[in-house]
Structure 1
Amino acid sequence: MKKAKQIDVTREEVTEGESEARSRDGARNNVRKIREALLMSKAELARKAGLSALTIDRIESGYDCRVDTKRKIILALGLKLTDKDKVFAGPKPESEE
């Protein structure tokens, strides 16, 4: 019977990897700024959007999400879908050199 390889990873390496993935893949957004301007808690936004508070926390931290999730958040914030660029910025254009 073969033994599975054991991989030793420290908590710091995992956290570092998560932040690198977040900065690479996660789009920065204005969800937290808009939510706080509306004096709305994460729990309230999550309830209105039909999402978990953990999902809201991840999105506010910069993780990307599905289009349907973005739609739910925009509507829960009381905005129109045409305001999506105010909430979720698109990808930054690459600099031309």
Structure 2
Amino acid sequence: MTNRLKEVRENLLLSRAELARKAGVSFLTIDRVEKGLPCRTETKRKILAGLGFKPSQRDMVFSSTHPPKKELNFTLESGKTAKIRDVDHTGF
């Protein structure tokens, strides 16, 4: 499974340990998912919630089908907006 979890997590200034705690999963789970190993749908839901994403925003983290962009903008459940610059999805 390819994803942008590490990129999104780092942009939100979260450590793997912080995200694991917020998501209710282990540090090892975050590490494995960031390395592209498969995970269950429920784990993805927990990680999205830990990041402050809505389930409908899952493709921003877990999809490999986004076209290359210079910028990725998204709105978190808290209402805050975040931006990832110089995004290149071609490597995913």
- Fold agreement, TM-score > 0.5: yes
Choose the corresponding residue for 1:51, options 25, 50, 57: 25
Identity across the alignment (%): 54
Query: Which 4+ stretches in 1 moved above 4 angstroms?
Result: none
Cα distance in 2 for partners of 1:90, 1:68 equals 19
Residue in 1 aligned with 2:83?
none
Between the two proteins, the alignment pairs up a number of residues equal to 65
Structure with higher strand content = 2
CA positional deviation for 1:90: 5.6
TM-score (norm 1): 0.64
Residue in 1 aligned with 2:54?
80
Q: Find out whether 1:33 has 2:7 as its counterpart.
A: yes
CA positional deviation for 1:89: 1.0
> Which AA in structure 2 matches 1:74?
L
Task: Note the residue ranges of structure 1 that are not aligned, 5 or more in a row.
Answer: 1-26, 92-97
TM-score (norm 2): 0.68
User: Which of 1 and 2 has greater Rg?
Assistant: 1
> Which AA in structure 2 matches 1:34?
V
RMSD: 1.2
Structure with higher helix content = 1
